Amino acid sequence: NLVPMADILQDAHKKTYAVGGFNINNMEFLQGIMMGAEELNSPVILQASEGAIRYIGMDYVIKMVEAATDKTDIPVALHLDHGSDFESVMKCIRAGFSSVMIDASKKPFEENIALTKKVVEAAHNVGVSVEAELGTIGGTEDDHTVDEKDAMYTDPDQAKEFIEATGVDALAIAIGTAHGVYKGDPELDFGRLETIKKLIDMPVVLHGASGVSAADLEKAVSLGVNKVNVNTDFQQSFTARVKEIFAEKPELYDPRKYCGPGRDAIAEKVKEKIRILGSNGQA
């Protein structure tokens, strides 16, 4: 049951909950995420980065996700995470993704608009959804001054201009989150989120959500975040379980005996995130 991401996110936007944009790194991630989402009857957005597609192989991504979605009733979108250029996005659309992200956030505003608009035209033509990004979701914010934050974070008026000019289905905004592991505690600019959401009135995406507290995630969702991207937390859950197992039984050699528990650890973490986002029971 592969659906366009826009269908999933429009419902979340209307009802004020968020759906996980959960990264697949390999088969165990895909299965662990599906196990968690199915158990809680939640829609889910499976996302693959360009690095993950290189690692897994495009044909395996498509076939594995097909296997996962053929026998499920929950709505699932297959989404390209941080697509870097037009060709990369088109490759995924041709291969069968139901959604793509074009991340031109490092380019000047007008160039971001132009490239995003081009992607939206191509994608919408074939029923594929588009996420774009405005602002800088980067390293930890601890070292940055207020002025620098103003320059990095998403400008609300620009966000409105951007979505009107491009017609994107979802907008990723920068409000203080960062990819990977935080050095200190992240400090989110909730006021900015509130202002942006009121101005654009459409699905908003939060990247770098690993390491953000449950309370902050809940608050972000209540203020209008509809897609929450998580990769690092699942990588850490998987790896921590594998390390535990090897600490206990260093003589192990059968990968099923540690990848299986790693997969279960991902499923547990997925359920925890889904409950925080409020997408349980929304499938």
216 counts as catalytic: no
- Nearer to Zn ion by Cβ, of 40 and 49: the residue is 49
**By the 8 A CB rule, do 177 and 186 touch?**
yes
Tell me how far, at minimum, the Cβ of 125 lies from ligand 13P, in Å.
25
Q: Which does 80 bind (CB under 5 to 8 A by kind): ligand 13P, Zn ion, ligand G3H, none?
A: none
CA-nearest of 60, 50, 43, 54 to 5 is 43
- Nearer to Zn ion by Cβ, of 38 and 189: the residue is 189
User: Does the footprint of ligand 13P cover residue 269 (CB under 6 A)?
Assistant: no
Amino acid symbol at 27? M
Chain residues 20-39 in contact with ligand 13P, contact rule CB under 6 A: 23
Residues making up the chain, counted from first to last: 283
Q: How far is 254 from 239, CA to CA, in rounded Å?
A: 16
Q: How far is 123 from 105, CA to CA, in rounded Å?
A: 19
Q: Which does 51 bind (CB under 5 to 8 A by kind): ligand 13P, Na ion, ligand G3H, none?
A: ligand G3H
**By the 8 A CB rule, do 220 and 196 touch?**
no
CA-nearest of 21, 43, 98, 39 to 66 is 98
Q: Which does 210 bind (CB under 5 to 8 A by kind): Zn ion, ligand 13P, ligand G3H, none?
A: ligand 13P
Cα four-point dihedral sign 40, 46, 47, 48: positive
Tell me how far, at minimum, the Cβ of 254 lies from ligand 13P, in Å.
29
User: Does the footprint of Na ion cover residue 21 (CB under 5 A)?
Assistant: no
User: Does the footprint of ligand 13P cover residue 282 (CB under 6 A)?
Assistant: no
DSSP letters spanning 226-268: EEEEESHHHHHHHHHHHHHHHHH-TT---THHHHHHHHHHHHH
User: Does the footprint of Zn ion cover residue 227 (CB under 5 A)?
Assistant: no
User: Does the footprint of ligand 13P cover residue 261 (CB under 6 A)?
Assistant: no
Q: Given the residues 11, 59, 73, 81, select the one marked as catalytic.
A: 81
Chain residues 185-214 in contact with Na ion, contact rule CB under 5 A: 208, 210-211
CA-nearest of 158, 168, 148, 157 to 109 is 158
The residues carrying an active-site annotation are 81
Residues lying near ligand 13P in the complex (CB under 6 A) are found at 23, 81-82, 179-180, 207-211, 229-233
